[in-house]
Amino acid sequence: MKHFTVEQRYKLEFLMQQNVSKAQIAIDINVHISSIYREIKRNSDERNSNYRADLASRKCNKRHKEKPKNQCFSNEIKDYVSKLIQADYSPEQIVGKSLKEGINCVCHETIYKFILNDKKNAGDLHKHLRSKGKIYRKRGALKDKRGLIVGRVGIENRPTEVAEKHRFGDLEIDLVIGKDHKGALLTINDRATGMLQMKKIENKDAEIVKNATIELLENWKPFLKTITSDNGKEFAKHGLIAQALEIDYYSANPYCSWERGANENLNGLIRQYFPKGSNFEMITDIQVKNVVEKLNNRPRKRHQFDSPNEVYLQLLNNNQEFAFIN
């Protein structure tokens, strides 16, 4: 059923004053005759039964505001949502978790509005969002002017099954850089599960990156298949990494960050805990470990709101090949 517009209500009022039949009014306004009777019954003045367009519009708006759908965000649900936001869940993750566990909740748009209103009232819920509640303008492609590293194997040579994200052991790797380019976080994720490995390093020297990568992936070594990075000089020793881990190493195309989309997204989540401008020299290994644990247990939309750890365990249970992964 379509709602009457303001114009239709004024036309209805005018035609009724002219004693035009309900059937003819329905034709003139282009609605079903039953809608005419319903509109008059619901929105006429209760004191004298007169129909006025302005009164009808006010009564209609009042009913919509009082509908149960506008009252479902109860204080109980607000408390539930607030606790999950404070645990760094995104609105979509909150909704997904609620649906999965059969808990009454509101849509993610309503949660975003709730966070925005909280911010306007000097609350701090927005600080738990990945973007801290900021709105960023879209940017065009910016060239980083970095040359291609020597001996690289392009991503176009990578096996097609890597794109399917069905198997464990296809990795992506990158660095998150600290303030004034002092200190960095080496981040490695498995494409299928989203599992994160992360380590603090003192700088992005290729030798340091190589050693940290080998150390991080030592326990996964028997099950590794491919690893993909960008063309930064920090990955100049990719050949030694590939040799030590017995893994195939590929480089994405320049200016094509979407080819490592999972890692780019994960780095964005990490920035929630270590924002741009942070002094990475002050970060402790315990802090890094806590963030890794938190993100590996955080529900993901692409996994129908299972966490990377849960998806990892599902793969483990379905494939005995992974039974010895620590």
Evaluate if residue 77 carries a pLDDT over 50: yes
- Tell whether 137 is covered by a domain: no
Evaluate if residue 322 carries a pLDDT over 80: no
Evaluate if residue 44 carries a pLDDT over 90: yes
- Tell whether 248 is covered by a domain: yes
Express as a percent the part of the chain with pLDDT over 70: 90
The residues pairing with 174 across neighbouring beta strands, listed in sequence order, are 187
User: How much is the pTM?
Assistant: 0.59
| The pLDDT of residue 175 | 95
Are 57 and 79 contained in the same domain? no
Evaluate if residue 323 carries a pLDDT over 50: no
The pLDDT of 10-31, averaged and rounded, is 92
- Tell whether 146 is covered by a domain: no
Q: How many domains does the chain have?
A: 3
| The pLDDT of residue 3 | 77
| The pLDDT of residue 319 | 65
The pLDDT of 178-183, averaged and rounded, is 89
Are 54 and 85 contained in the same domain? no
144 band by pLDDT with thresholds 50, 70 and 90 = very low
**Burial class, 318, CB count within 10 angstroms (exposed 0-12 / middle 13-18 / buried 19+):** exposed
324 band by pLDDT with thresholds 50, 70 and 90 = very low
Q: Which residues form the domain of 316?
A: 155-322
Q: Say which CATH number the domain at 191 has.
A: 3.30.420.10
Evaluate if residue 34 carries a pLDDT over 80: yes
- Tell whether 195 is covered by a domain: yes
289 band by pLDDT with thresholds 50, 70 and 90 = very high
216 band by pLDDT with thresholds 50, 70 and 90 = very high
| The pLDDT of residue 139 | 46
Q: Phi/psi class of residue 224: alpha, beta or left (left: φ > 0; alpha: ψ in -120 to 50)?
A: beta
Are 11 and 89 contained in the same domain? no
| The pLDDT of residue 146 | 46
69 band by pLDDT with thresholds 50, 70 and 90 = low
